[in-house]
Amino acid sequence: MYSFYVNNISYKKMNKFLSYHQFNLFVLLLQQVCIAQKSSLPKHPVNPGLIHIVWDTNSLRRIGDGEYARMVELKSGRLVTVYAAAIGNTEIVYSNDHGDHWSEPVIVAAKASDIRMDAPGITLLNDGSLMVCYNPRPPFRNADTSKHFAIRLAKSYDDGLTWGDDQLLYKATYKFKDGCWEPAALQLPSGEIQLFFSNEGIYTNSDEQDISMLRSFDNGKTWTTKPGIVSFRKGSRDGMPVPVYLPATKEILFSIEDNGLINFKPYIIRSTIANNWCQTVTANSADRRYALKDSLKGNVYAGAPYLCMLPNGNTLLSYQSTQLRGGNQDVNNAEMIVTVGDKEGRNFVNPTVPFKIPANATALWNSISVLKDETVVALTSTKAHNGKTEVWMIKGRLVY
């Protein structure tokens, strides 16, 4: 707009109205108005139906041996990925070239005897520190009452080179069927950190599970001692929460897998900042909604969702599913699918498959990250390439 007007207004045409300096001032003001108008417009359309992802097979890279990988981008541009290593540690690796090459792993939390340090989540905090929350898990048939399922965290103040401040935040039982699982954290603009996890530790007489949440108000140094229950469908198993904050609507959202309708499906649970989880989101609450615009058949498996936000306010949701894999609806037949939602975290559409997985393999416990340049990075755990469980990444480009 600015160039159009400047190219069509000359000092010669206006000199009978303005002096030379007045004309220059007019042009400067016009430029500022046009820049302001341009910056007030959305960078891209926000209709999710207009957005899809094209995956670059040339960007496929192996990151390490393990699963449950999650990635953040530091202010320096360095990429940091945490995962549950095959040997039982929670480990972290780094890339200084946008993911083309990865460092040797650094141990965040080492396996203790036969207790795995599993399912980590990573958060870049406002003070510049990194926080990794993770999930100690005793063996499947554990009978040792001193070995508990738990939620712990560690922090790094040097971009992940060294780790300390290890804390026990929550302890469930020693039994696999009454454990706690899959922590993920979010820091709000106020500075409050909310750490969500799946919890069946209080349902020792049933197969139920809720989403519980702990809070910190000092960058993770201290935490509330008793978790609040933020999501629970009676008789079912809410699981695998991943939170985001939406500035446009001032809402906290997290995705879950919900098996309240035959098989697991992705749902979105929400609360306003003003409400801030003052009550549990139950089965019939307006704050619990099916995530996908086009519903899947009831028997189709679609679990382990992962939620994140794009720079323009739109949202992305991945999940592992059998919807495109034939009739077998077992988790061991699932692949990764990524969908695009609106700026309210609703109406997820345009499913794409980042990783091409053969029929005898899976792509599980996935996550997605969006880098500063709008590159979408998908992470998966698969045996498809080398016959053992490995973390792989692939990059995607947003098409508007």
For 277, phi then psi, to 5°, come to 60, 40
pLDDT at 4 over 50: no
pLDDT average, residue stretch 114-119: 97
137 beta partners: 116
Q: What integer pLDDT is reported at residue 35 of this predicted model?
A: 38
Q: What integer pLDDT is reported at residue 316 of this predicted model?
A: 98
**Residue 147 vs residue 3, higher pLDDT:** 147
pLDDT average, residue stretch 355-373: 96
d(CA 24, CA 217): 52
pLDDT average, residue stretch 364-388: 97
Q: What integer pLDDT is reported at residue 19 of this predicted model?
A: 53
- Radius of gyration for the alpha carbons in the chain, expressed in angstroms and rounded: 24
What digits encode the pLDDT tens for the residues 32-76? Answer: 444 344 344 356 767 888 899 999 999 999 999 999 999 999 999
Q: What integer pLDDT is reported at residue 326 of this predicted model?
A: 84
d(CA 299, CA 325): 13
Confidence bin at 28 (pLDDT 50/70/90): very low
pLDDT at 5 over 50: no
pLDDT at 342 over 60: yes
Q: What integer pLDDT is reported at residue 42 of this predicted model?
A: 53
Q: What integer pLDDT is reported at residue 33 of this predicted model?
A: 40
Q: What integer pLDDT is reported at residue 280 of this predicted model?
A: 98
d(CA 381, CA 181): 18
pLDDT average, residue stretch 185-209: 97
d(CA 253, CA 245): 6
User: CA triplet 260, 263, 269: central angle to 5 degrees?
Assistant: 45
Report whether 281 contacts 259 (CB < 8 A): no
pLDDT average, residue stretch 87-109: 98
pLDDT at 15 over 80: no
pTM (2 d.p.): 0.89
Report whether 390 contacts 383 (CB < 8 A): yes
pLDDT at 111 over 80: yes
Percent of the chain with pLDDT over 90: 85
Confidence bin at 328 (pLDDT 50/70/90): confident
From residue 62, alpha-carbon distances to 34, 77, 117, 122, 378 in Å are: 46, 20, 21, 19, 12
20, two tokens: 């030379």
Among 39-43, 312-316, 357-361, name the one with the lowest average pLDDT. 39-43
What digits encode the pLDDT tens for the residues 206-236? Answer: 999 999 999 999 999 999 999 999 999 999 9
pLDDT average, residue stretch 287-301: 96
Q: What integer pLDDT is reported at residue 92 of this predicted model?
A: 98
